[in-house]
Amino acid sequence: MLQTQLAGLSFLLLEDEVLLRKRLAGFLTKAGAEVTALGTVAEARRAAESLPFDAALIDVNLPDGRGTDLLREKVFPATTSVIVMTAEGGVAGAVEALRAGAADYLVKPFDPGELPLRFAQARRSQQKLRADEFRRGQEEEFFFGKSLAALQEQLLKITAADRRLGTRLPPVLIEGETGTGKTAAARWIHRHGPRADGPLVELNCSALPESLAEAELFGHERGAFTDAKAARIGLLEAADGGTLFLDELPSLAPSLQAKLLTVLEDGALRRVGASRPIPVDVRIIAATSADLRELVRAGRFREDLLHRLDLFRVSLSPLRERGADIESLAEALLARVCRRYGLKPAAIPTAGRMRLRTYRWPGNVRELAHEIERAVVFGSDLGLEFAHLTAGESDGSGASARWFRPGFIFPESGFLLETAIDELVTLAVRQAGGNVSAAARLLGVSRDVVRHRLKRGGGTDQAGE
C-alpha cells in the first residue's frame, strides 16, 4: 500500500555498489517511480543541476567524495526530499546527515520496503513547513444551534461520504455573506472527516496578488521566473493528503480557474516552469460571498469550474436570520473571550440580549465576535448591554432600515394593531432595562404614552425614569 506513495515521483539514486544500486533502482521502479541511478558525486551533481528531482537517496561514502557534500553545497532544492544511506551507523553519522540537510537517514543494510514510509514522512515534514506559512489560529468548535441544524445534517452526510471514499474527495462549495462563518465551517469539515490528521491549508484568494497567485498555488521550479532562485512547492502540494480551503474563490483570475479545474479533474498539477505533472490528492473546499451563477452570466467565473464545484454545496444563513441562536452564540463567544483574557465568566443582561437580537448584524458572526471582545476588554459594568447597537441598519442617509422581519405577511384571521403597539412598548421598556424615559426615546413618544400602554398591557407602573 505504501509503495503507491512513490508512484510518479522522480528519484535520484546515488550508490557506487552496483548490485545494491540495481536492487534499489528495481524496487523504486516497480513502485512506479522514475529513477536516475548514478555512482559518483560528480554525476549526481550534474544530474541535479539539469533535472528536477522529487526525492534523492544518496550514499555517504563514494569514490570521488561524500554524498553529504551535495547537501552542504545545496545542490538539491527545498522541494527535494533527501534521505542518506550510511554504513557507518551510530549517532555521529545520523547527526552529520541531518545537519547537512537530509530529511532522514538509513543504516545499511536495510530493507528497501522501508523506503516508502521514510519518504512519506519526509514529504509530510516538507508539506508542514509550507502549510505553516498559511496556518491560522484554529478556532473552537463551530456553533450550529437550532437555526443551523439542517446545515449540520448536510455536513455530517458529507463527512460520512468522505469516509466511504477515502481518496479523491469531491470538492465542497460554501456560500454565505461575509462573516457568516465559512472558514469555521471548512475547518469543521476537515476536523470531522477522514483527513483530520492531514494538513489544512487556508488561503484568502482576494488577498493574493494576481502576479503571485499561480506560483503560490501550484509552486515553481528554479529559474521559472526572475525571482525564482530556488524551487518551491505550492499550496496544492502542501495540502496533499489533506484539505485546501480557498476563501473568496472568484478572486482568482480565469486562467488560474482553468488550472484549478485541471487539478480537480486529473488529480495532478504542473508547477510553473515544470515539464511534467505531479500527482496530488487534495480536498478542495471553496467559499464565496458572491453568487457564482451570477458571476458566470457576467463572464467573471468559469461555468465548467462552477459545475465541477457545485456538487456538495452548502449555504450559511446570515446572523440576523438565526433568531434565538444569536443569544446562545453570543454566550459561547463571551465564555471563549473570558477564558482567553483570564477573566471570570460574565453574563449578558436582559437589555443586552434584546439589543443583540434586534440588531441587523451587517458584519454577521465576525461583527458579533468583535462586539463581544470589545465589550469585555473596554466595557464597564454596563458594557455588555451594547447600548450603542440600534435595531435597524442605516441606509446612509441617517434613516433606519425597516425594523420588522422582511417578508412579513398579515395573517388571514386579521391583525390587532392595538395589541401590537402594546407589545412594541413592552419590548422597548425591556430593551431599555425598565427605564421609561429611555423607552420613550426609542419609540419617539412621551413617557405618558409609554406608561399608559404599560397599564393597558397589564404591565406595572414601577419602571424607572
Tell me how far apart the alpha carbons of residues 382 and 424 are, in angstroms, rounded to a whole number: 23
Phi, psi dihedral angles at 210 (to 5 degrees)? -60, -35
Residue 1 has pLDDT above 50, yes or no: no
Paired sense of beta strands 278-279 and 268-269, if any: antiparallel
Going by the DSSP 8-state scheme, the letter that residue 66 receives in this structure is E
What is the average pLDDT value for the chain, to the nearest integer? 84
Residue 61 has pLDDT above 60, yes or no: yes
Question: What is the per-residue pLDDT for 398?
Answer: 41
pLDDT tens per residue, range 293-303:
999 999 999 99
182 in the same domain as 58: no
pLDDT tens per residue, range 115-139:
888 888 887 777 776 666 655 555 5
Question: What is the per-residue pLDDT for 242?
Answer: 92
Helix ranges (H only) for 232-349 are 235-238, 254-266, 292-297, 303-309, 325-340
Question: What is the per-residue pLDDT for 323?
Answer: 85
pLDDT tens per residue, range 242-272:
999 999 999 999 999 999 999 999 999 998 8
Nearest by Cα to 79 from 249, 222, 272: 222
Please tell me whether the overall predicted TM-score, pTM, comes out greater than 0.95 for this model: no
Residue 220 near residue 213, CB atoms below 8 Å:
no
Question: What is the per-residue pLDDT for 259?
Answer: 94
Q: Which whole number is the average pLDDT over 165-181?
A: 93
Nearest by Cα to 433 from 390, 387, 393, 391: 387
Where residue 401 falls among pLDDT bands split at 50, 70, 90? very low
Question: What is the per-residue pLDDT for 441?
Answer: 83
Residue 335 near residue 345, CB atoms below 8 Å:
yes
325 in the same domain as 309: no
Axis crossing angle, helix 182-192 with helix 149-165, rounded to the nearest 10: 40
Where residue 406 falls among pLDDT bands split at 50, 70, 90? low
Residue 422 has pLDDT above 50, yes or no: yes
Is position 394 within any domain? no
Where residue 15 falls among pLDDT bands split at 50, 70, 90? very high
272 in the same domain as 177: yes
Question: What is the per-residue pLDDT for 211?
Answer: 81
- For 186, other C-beta atoms within 10 Å of its C-beta total 23
Residues spanned by the domain of 286: 149-316
159 in the same domain as 115: no
Tell me how far apart the alpha carbons of residues 128 and 113 are, in angstroms, rounded to a whole number: 24
Is position 404 within any domain? no
Helix ranges (H only) for 166-278 are 182-192, 210-218, 235-238, 254-266
- For 381, other C-beta atoms within 10 Å of its C-beta total 7
Residue 193 near residue 162, CB atoms below 8 Å:
yes
Residue 225 near residue 273, CB atoms below 8 Å:
yes
381 in the same domain as 442: no
Where residue 49 falls among pLDDT bands split at 50, 70, 90? confident
Segment among 173-182, 204-213, 266-275, 381-390 with least mean pLDDT: 381-390
236 in the same domain as 113: no
Is position 176 within any domain? yes
Write the CATH number for 446.
1.10.10
- Boundary-marking domain end, from 130, 165, 188: 130
Write the CATH number for 363.
1.10.8.60
In percent, the amount of the chain with pLDDT more than 70 equals: 87
Tell me how far apart the alpha carbons of residues 410 and 258 are, in angstroms, rounded to a whole number: 49
Q: Which whole number is the average pLDDT over 189-215?
A: 90
Write the CATH number for 223.
3.40.50.300
335 in the same domain as 281: no
- Range with top average pLDDT, 154-158, 193-197, 451-455: 154-158
Distance between the two ends of the chain, CA-based, in angstroms?
77
Is position 408 within any domain? no
Residue 143 has pLDDT above 70, yes or no: yes
202 in the same domain as 116: no
Where residue 381 falls among pLDDT bands split at 50, 70, 90? low
Q: Which whole number is the average pLDDT over 180-185?
A: 94
145: Cα separation from own chain's centroid? 22
Is position 465 within any domain? no
Nearest by Cα to 463 from 420, 418, 428, 414: 428
324 in the same domain as 202: no
- Range with top average pLDDT, 62-76, 245-259, 451-465: 245-259
- Boundary-marking domain end, from 130, 165, 183: 130
Residue that has been written with the C-alpha cell 553529504 in this structure? 68
Tell me how far apart the alpha carbons of residues 436 and 430 are, in angstroms, rounded to a whole number: 9
281 in the same domain as 360: no
Is position 121 within any domain? yes
Q: Which whole number is the average pLDDT over 38-51?
A: 90
293 in the same domain as 153: yes
Where residue 285 falls among pLDDT bands split at 50, 70, 90? very high
Helix ranges (H only) for 252-324 are 254-266, 292-297, 303-309
pLDDT tens per residue, range 328-348:
999 999 999 998 888 888 889
Q: How many domains does the chain have?
A: 4
Residue 241 near residue 199, CB atoms below 8 Å:
yes
Tell me how far apart the alpha carbons of residues 200 and 127 are, in angstroms, rounded to a whole number: 10
43 in the same domain as 177: no
Is position 218 within any domain? yes
Q: Which whole number is the average pLDDT over 40-60?
A: 89
Is position 225 within any domain? yes
Where residue 101 falls among pLDDT bands split at 50, 70, 90? confident
Amino acid letter at 46?
A: R
Segment among 113-122, 157-166, 357-366, 388-397 with least mean pLDDT: 388-397
* CA–CA distances in Å: residue 218 to residues 3, 9, 254, 265, 268: 25, 16, 15, 15, 10
Residue 395 has pLDDT above 50, yes or no: no
- Boundary-marking domain end, from 100, 130, 160: 130
Tell me how far apart the alpha carbons of residues 136 and 142 are, in angstroms, rounded to a whole number: 16
At residue 83, the 3 state secondary structure works out as strand
Residue 169 near residue 195, CB atoms below 8 Å:
yes
Q: Which one is predicted more confidently, 306 or 107?
A: 306
Tell me how far apart the alpha carbons of residues 24 and 151 are, in angstroms, rounded to a whole number: 51
Q: Which whole number is the average pLDDT over 196-214?
A: 89
Q: Which whole number is the average pLDDT over 189-214?
A: 90
